[in-house]
């Protein structure tokens, strides 16, 4: 479990290490009727996604506590978390080893190597990469860096929620964001608890949040579809489940076709290139899977842009 105090501590710790990303007010009409609507441009964060917030908080907290070994860090990732941990490790002056599925996009693997990380591709799902990474960390004594189910990681992601509150002057009702393992959702929902609601949007083919809330606990789901490279966790994290249950996060599911169309819309309307996982949040508005109430003030998190843009032109 994490609390608002953990997010506040993370904000102080990562200050100067992560970017304060823009909040762009847009005409709601192309997306859905609403009183006001903003896009949180987290795709402009270091390494192209929100992930450095949690990565820096975890790595820097370990260094403060004397738990950051010379052997560095080991992480598993579909791509974005690995990029963030590799970036944070390089800034902390320690090596990084990242395990990714064999299905990880080539653009992400190439960027990992460009950041100096040793990359090992294992299996076809994130869970297989995570299992291999956990064994490697145990064997080497390196700092284990879970992509979404560590308190420091979730609290670090929550700094995005604090920025939204500051940038809107607290005048926000709802934040829509994509959910995979749930680290971003957990952090943002904690930061916004008692101030704004969070809607967690998932592909129909990877319903980790929806299934967990229905079952009363995180459960394994099959992983497939166009957004699997970034939202391909086989189960919701334990921290994310606790926070979602506590704060009343609402799950929403969208189709593959809706995700593709939403990604195209973000390019056509705003000239922003986003991942299919990122477009998942937009799809909830475009399809009416989430319909803002009259007068509702909505922020949509555009959480990542590590993608091949060639199919947008």
- What pLDDT digit, counting tens, does each position of 118-173 carry? 999 998 887 888 899 999 999 999 999 999 999 999 999 999 999 999 999 999 99
165: tokens are 């509150």
- How far apart are the C-alpha atoms of 178 and 244, rounded to whole Å? 13
Q: Is the pLDDT of residue 106 over 90?
A: no
pTM of the model: 0.94
224 vs 229, higher pLDDT: 224
Q: Is the pLDDT of residue 248 over 70?
A: yes
Buried b (16+ CB within 10 A) or exposed e, 128-148: bbbebbeebbeeeebbbbbbb
Q: What is the pLDDT of residue 127?
A: 81
Q: Is the pLDDT of residue 300 over 90?
A: yes
Tens digits of residue pLDDT in 70-91: 999 999 887 789 999 999 999 9
- How far apart are the C-alpha atoms of 241 and 213, rounded to whole Å? 7
Taken in order of first residue, the domains within the chain and their CATH numbers are 4-50+154-312 (3.40.50.1100), 52-151 (3.40.50.1100)
How remote is the C-alpha of 128 from its chain's centroid? Answer: 19
């Amino acid at each position: 479990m994490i609390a608002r105090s953990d997010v506040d501590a993370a904000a102080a710790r990562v200050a100067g290490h992560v970017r304060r990303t823009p909040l762009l007010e847009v005409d709601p009409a192309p997306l859905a009727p609403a009183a006001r609507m903003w896009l949180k441009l987290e795709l402009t964060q270091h390494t192209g996604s929100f992930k450095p917030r949690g990565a820096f908080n975890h790595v820097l907290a370990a260094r403060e506590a004397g738990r950051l070994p010379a052997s560095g860090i080991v992480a598993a990732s579909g791509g974005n978390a690995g990029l963030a941990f590799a970036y944070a490790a390089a800034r902390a002056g320690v090596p990084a080893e990242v395990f990714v599925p064999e299905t990880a996009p080539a653009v992400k693997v190439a960027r990992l190597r460009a950041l100096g990380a040793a990359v090992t591709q294992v299996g076809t799902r994130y869970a297989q990469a995570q299992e291999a990474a956990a064994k490697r960390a145990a064997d080497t004594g390196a700092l284990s860096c879970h992509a979404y189910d560590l308190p420091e990681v979730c609290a670090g992601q929550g700094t995005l929620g604090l920025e939204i509150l500051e940038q809107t002057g607290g005048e926000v009702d709802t934040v829509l964001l994509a959910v995979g393992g749930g680290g971003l959702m957990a952090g943002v929902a904690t930061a916004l608890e008692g101030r704004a609601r969070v809607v967690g949007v998932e592909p129909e083919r990877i319903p980790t949040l929806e299934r967990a809330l229905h079952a009363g606990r995180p459960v394994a789901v099959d992983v497939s579809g166009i957004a699997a490279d970034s939202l391909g966790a086989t189960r919701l994290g334990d921290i994310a489940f606790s926070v979602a249950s506590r704060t009343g996060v609402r799950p929403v599911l969208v189709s593959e076709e809706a995700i593709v169309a939403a990604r195209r819309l973000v390019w056509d309307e705003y000239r922003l290139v986003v991942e299919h996982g990122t477009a998942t949040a937009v799809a909830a508005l475009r399809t009416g899977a989430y319909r803002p109430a009259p007068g509702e003030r909505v922020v949509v998190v555009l959480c990542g842009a590590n993608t091949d843009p060639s199919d947008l032109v």
